Amino acid sequence: MVHLIEAATFGELAAKTKAACSSSPILNVVLSVQAALPASNDFFLQTYRVDAEKWQAPEVPADLVFNHGNYMHRHGDSLNYLITELKNKPSGNRACISLVDAADIMASKDGKLPSFLLLQAAIGTDGKKLIMTAYYRALEVSVFLPINLAEMALIADKIGKNHPTLESVDLTLHAFRAHDSPQFRAHTRSALDIAAVEGEIVDAVAAENRQLIATWLLDKARHESVIDTVGLATLTAELTEAGWEDDVVSELNVAVGLEAQLAYARTMGTHAHGVKSLQEELSSQLSNIARMLRKPTANRGHNGH
C-alpha cells in the first residue's frame, strides 16, 4: 500500500504528513508539492533555513553528528555535477546525487547513516519546471521533515540560478518509513557531549554550577538515534572525583548504565525490542537528576556537607 500525501504548500505538506503519522508509523509514503522558484522564500521554510544550510554544508558543523553535504560532496562537488548534467541533458536520467553506497550501509550497523539516500532531477519539456525526486530510508516528520523540505528548496534554488528559464519546482519525496518522534534530536550533538569535548564540564563542576549541569542533562534527555556516551561518562567521573553528593553520583551511575544498555540495543536496530523503553527510562532518569540539582537545599557541599 502506498500512502500518497499531496499539498499546495510546504507547510501544508508537513502538517498533513505529521497528522498521517500521529497514531503510528506508516510505510511506503509519497509526498508531493509544487512551488515557485526561489522555493526557499516560502514563509514556512524560513524557520528551518539555517538548519538546512548546516545540513547542506560540505563540512560537518561542530554541533552535528554528521550532515548530508559531507556525504554529498565527499567524491567531488555533486551539486555542480547535477547542475552541469541538467544543462547538457535536461531530460536525462543521470542527474543524480547518491549520498551512500553499499559499503556505507554494511559498515554502519546502527550508527550514523543518512536517511536521505538519493536525489534525482530533470527539467520539464517546456524548460520552465524543475522536477526533483528524493528517496529516504526513514523520515521523522516532526523535527526532521521541515528541515528536509528546506534542504530540497535550497537545492532547487541553486539549480534555478543556473537555469534562468526555470519558474517552479515539482518535488516528490519517497520514504520507506515515516514516523513522528517530537522528542527526537535531529542528529545534533547534545550540549553535554559538546561540553565534554571542549572541557567545559570540568569548569562547571569546579564552579559547582548546578543550573548549567541540570540544563545539559535535560538536553541530553532528548531522544537520540546515534548514542554518544562521552558526555554522561565524563560528567559522572568529574562529579565523583570532586566528591559531589552521593545521591546525585549514584543516580548518574544508573544513567550511565542505562545509556550503555541503550547503545547496545541500538546495534540491533532503530526499532529493536527494548530501544523505546530504554530511551524513555534514560530520559526520565536524566530529568530526575536535573530536578535534584535544581532543588533548593541548604546542603550543597560535597557529599551533602
Q: Where are the domains of the chain?
A: 3-179, 191-304
> In this prediction, what percent of the chain has a pLDDT beyond 90?
69
At residue 186, the pLDDT reads 66
Lowest-confidence pick of 24-28, 32-36, 101-105, 225-229: 225-229
At residue 295, the pLDDT reads 85
Prediction pTM value:
0.76
Q: How many CA atoms lie within 13 Å of 171's alpha carbon, on the beta-carbon side?
A: 28
Grid cell 539516500 is found at: 117
Q: Count of residues for the chain? A: 305
Q: What distance in Å separates the CA atoms of residue 192 and residue 60, rounded to the nearest whole number?
A: 19
Across 147-169, average pLDDT: 96
Domain 3-179, CATH homologous superfamily name and number: Thymidylate synthase/dCMP hydroxymethylase domain (3.30.572.10)
Task: For residue 198, report the phi and psi dihedrals to the nearest 5 degrees.
Answer: -90, 5
Across 280-298, average pLDDT: 85
pLDDT classification of 171: cutoffs 50, 70, 90: very high
At residue 271, the pLDDT reads 58
At residue 305, the pLDDT reads 39
Across 21-44, average pLDDT: 96
Q: Can you say how many angstroms the Cα of residue 120 is from the centroid of all Cα atoms in its chain? A: 22
Per-residue model confidence as pLDDT tens digits over 213-242: 999 999 888 887 778 888 899 999 999 999
Asked whether residue 170 carries a pLDDT value surpassing 90, the answer given is yes
At residue 135, the pLDDT reads 98
pLDDT classification of 299: cutoffs 50, 70, 90: very low
Which residue spans within the chain are E strands per DSSP?
3-7, 26-36, 96-98, 116-123, 129-136, 139-140, 168-179
Asked whether residue 41 carries a pLDDT value surpassing 50, the answer given is yes
At residue 270, the pLDDT reads 61
Asked whether residue 269 carries a pLDDT value surpassing 50, the answer given is yes
Across 123-127, average pLDDT: 93
Average pLDDT, the chain: 90
